[in-house]
Amino acid sequence: MGETIDTDICVIGAGSGGLSVAAGASQMGARTVLIERGAMGGDCLNHGCVPSKALIAAGHAAHGMRAAGHFGIAPVEPAIDRAGLHRHVRHVIEAIAPNDSVERFEGLGVTVLQESARFTGPREVTAGDTVVRAKWIVVATGSTPLVPPIPGLADIPYLTNETIFGLEEEIDHLIVIGGGPIGLEMAQAHRRLGARVTVLEAGRFLAKDDPEATAVVVERLRAEGVDLRDGTKVTGASAREGGGATLTVEDADGGTETVTGSHVLVAAGRVPTTDGLDLEAAGIAHDRRGITVDRRLRTTNARVFAIGDVAGGPQFTHMAGYHAGIVIRQALFRMVWARTDDRAVPWVTYTDPELAHVGLLADDALARHGEGNVTILRWGFEENDRAQAERRTDGFVKAVLDKRGRVLGATIVGAGAGELLLPWALAVQGRMRIGKLAGVIAPYPTRSEASKRAAGSAFTGTLFSERTRKLVRFLLRF
């Protein structure tokens, strides 16, 4: 017979959202059980955000050696040490891992069960031989890579984000299926680290982003030698004699050809992880998009919450952390009014240049509010002194305002765009008028001045109008 644990909160999944709930709840005095069948830290630490950004940083360093000629420094072709590269990625993970470890959470008073979890009742979860009965249950199981039903794909040793970072062999030609953020980030990083790269995308690259901003990213990747093919459908896959794979592709005009590479990376999206949970036993509705939740993140079982990727919303680590705070306020403090607000969800694609966005895209704002009720502001980095000094003037800041001058959304494409987005996220979240940003004192010389200049451009027509000139001439008479 196994053990039975009665607890206040049971969290299933030790990724970003689950860890945030468990740490917060335990430190605030709630009895907390955390169940994880895989590695602590979940996808973000082990297979996602952390290793990918470490690899991107390595690619950036290699690219800097090749691109130094602009500064009067002789460019050199870097020698890539594959073993050293993978040590770097592992060391970054290992440096962060103690924050997510079993030891840390047990030190916080959390009971950690390293088992698979499944519901055996509305308020009961079984993990191995242990039965957990909880007042509240939080499902935070994240998502896994979507593998499209391409004939023959299952018969080749394809890679996903869960396997590519552990690959120590040299990649000669990487074929990427999918032109979203993960696909383009990995394409550019591996190109900079010496591989040939082809990206096959059925639709438009970075389809959820501003097309004008996306064009800047696409142009840079092509300039660096990445073979980008949009409107291309993969119709078959087969193993190549001697290693590697051959993909059959169909273009937008119906023509077919084959693409052969040493490795294939599937980056075609993600699906919520619900397998093995036996959600029906707890009366929890779900579909292929994830677990059904309301704005309070409650499932169809009022005692169970779902957060992060498994809840079917925007699949970002920072959203899982945001969800954790909403659940804690409800479960511990009975703040039933705590609910999600997706109006100011930020995201960043970590290509070079980066592409960052928050709020409404320009096209969506025009469709929702009407052309006469929307103002679009734009300021290019070619007008920014810091960007000129760094020889990185590609990109711009674009802001979308309503007819009252409130910020509805913003897109930034350029070097370090993600670091420049926070003021715009604050503006969208707080329904701020553009004058607040225009009046901020920005340090010189920084790229953040581009945001101030974009905001200030909202008043250019009024400040430098003929009416203003007449008023100034009149006042100067006295």
Average pLDDT, the chain: 95
Q: Is the pLDDT of residue 215 over 60?
A: yes
- Model confidence band, residue 353 (pLDDT cutoffs 50, 70, 90): very high
Mean pLDDT computed over 264-284: 96
Start-end ranges of CATH 3.50.50.60 in the chain?
4-144+271-342, 153-268
Least confident of 165-169, 288-292, 436-440: 165-169
List 35's β-bridge partners, or say none: 12, 113
Q: Is the pLDDT of residue 356 over 60?
A: yes
- Model confidence band, residue 464 (pLDDT cutoffs 50, 70, 90): confident
Q: Is the pLDDT of residue 243 over 90?
A: no
Cα 149-153-158 angle, rounded to 5 deg: 120
The CATH number given to 346-462 is 3.30.390.30
Q: Is the pLDDT of residue 324 over 90?
A: yes
Distance in angstroms (rounded) separating the CA atoms of residues 473 and 42: 66
Rounded alpha-carbon distances, angstroms, from residue 61 to 40, 79, 385: 30, 12, 23
CATH topology of domain 4-144+271-342: FAD/NAD(P)-binding domain (3.50.50)
Binding residues for NAD(+): 178-185, 201, 269
- Model confidence band, residue 1 (pLDDT cutoffs 50, 70, 90): low
* Local structure of 256: helix, strand or coil: strand
- Model confidence band, residue 468 (pLDDT cutoffs 50, 70, 90): confident
Binding residues for FAD: 53, 141-143, 309
pLDDT at 246: 95
pLDDT at 254: 86
Q: Is the pLDDT of residue 3 over 90?
A: yes
Distance in angstroms (rounded) separating the CA atoms of residues 23 and 295: 23
Mean pLDDT computed over 295-315: 96
pLDDT at 180: 97
pLDDT at 168: 86
Percent of the chain exceeding pLDDT 90 equals 92
pTM of the model: 0.95
Binding residues: 53, 141-143, 178-185, 201, 269, 309
Q: pLDDT tens digits, residue range 137-180?
A: 999 999 999 999 999 999 999 999 999 999 988 999 999 999 99
Q: pLDDT tens digits, residue range 110-139?
A: 999 999 999 999 999 999 999 999 999 999
**To which CATH superfamily is domain 153-268 assigned?**
FAD/NAD(P)-binding domain (3.50.50.60)
- Model confidence band, residue 403 (pLDDT cutoffs 50, 70, 90): very high
Question: Which string of b and e fits 342-379 if b means at least 16 CB within 10 Å?
Answer: eebbbbbbbbbbbbbbbbbbbeebbeebeeeebbebeb
pLDDT at 252: 84
> Within a 10 A sphere around the Cβ of 189, how many other Cβ atoms?
26
Q: How would you class 6 by CB atoms within 10 Å of its CB: exposed for 0-12, middle for 13-18, buried for 19 or more?
A: exposed
Start-end ranges of CATH 3.30.390.30 in the chain?
346-462
CA dihedral over 97, 99, 103, 106, signed as positive or negative: negative
Q: pLDDT tens digits, residue range 48-68?
A: 999 999 999 999 999 999 999
